[in-house]
Every structure is written in structure tokens, then in C-alpha cells.
Amino acid sequence: MSDSDKQLKVRLDKWLWSARLYKTRSLAQEMISGGKVHYNGQRCKPSRPVECDATITLRQGFDEKVIVVDKLIDKRVNASIAATVYHETEESISKREVNAANRKLLASNNPQPRTKPDKKQRRQIIRFKSTD
């Protein structure tokens, strides 16, 4: 950790946006306010200052990531640099892989139709459902 990291104070919403974990800063604010982001295991406000070696738990879709802050940045940078400012824990990676495999198994057991039903099929569905 350098001296510049000690002096730099960055809001949590701004850090999440600049680390490219969320597409917009307002989206990061919504996620934090909605309880989808926890800082060191606790709910927090978007204005919470970020520190190095802090643990951030965030939900994105079906996945939950646990990341550790390595470096503080306050400007949005390209993806290759943004990937170096944090690292995801091994437990988090393995848990996400297991959950993805389970979702894939469930999806294969419950196939979705390729197209919407046409007019004739909709009538048949309505007829089938209405006969008790």
C-alpha cells in the first residue's frame, strides 16, 4: 500500500463504479442502498469511505461475490487495470461455480419453448386450462 492510497479517500459507490463492478455510479448507489452490497459484513451507505484490505460482498444477478480491496482508485479505468484493484476470494469463486453448475442442471430438466405459441396453440392452451 503506497502513501497515495493512504491519502486517497474514495466513496464506496465511486470505487465500485471505477473498478467496473457496476456500469454506472447511480446503479452502484442503488445496489448499496438496496442492501445488495455489504462492506466488512455490514450494510452501509454509498458515501462510506473505502479502505485497502476491506471485504466487500456484492450480489450480481444470481451470483454473490466476495472481493477484497487491493488498491484505491477514484477514476474509471480500462478493464485490465480495473481487474488489478481487487481480487475475489477462492471460496467465492468455488461457490459461484457450484451455483452455476446447479442452475445449468435445473435448466436442462425444465426446457423452455423456442418460440411463443401461435394463435391456434394459445386457444388450445386456454381450452386445456379451462377444462376442470
- Residue 18 CB coordination number (10 Å): 21
Could you tell me which residues come within 8 angstroms of residue 10 by beta carbon, excluding any fewer than 6 positions away? 18, 49, 50, 72, 73, 74
Q: What's the rounded Cα separation, in Å, for the pair 14 and 40? A: 17
- DSSP annotation of 24 reads S
Give the max Cα distance, the chain.
Answer: 74
Arithmetic mean of pLDDT over the chain: 91
| Percent residues over pLDDT 70 in the chain | 95
Domain boundaries, the chain: 1-92
Evaluate whether the domain defined by 1-92 bears CATH number 3.20.20.150: no
pLDDT in tens, 6-63: 678 999 999 999 999 999 999 999 999 999 999 999 999 999 999 999 999 999 988 9
pLDDT in tens, 11-26: 999 999 999 999 999 9
Q: What's the rounded Cα separation, in Å, for the pair 127 and 132? A: 10
On the question of pLDDT at 130 being above 60, the answer is yes
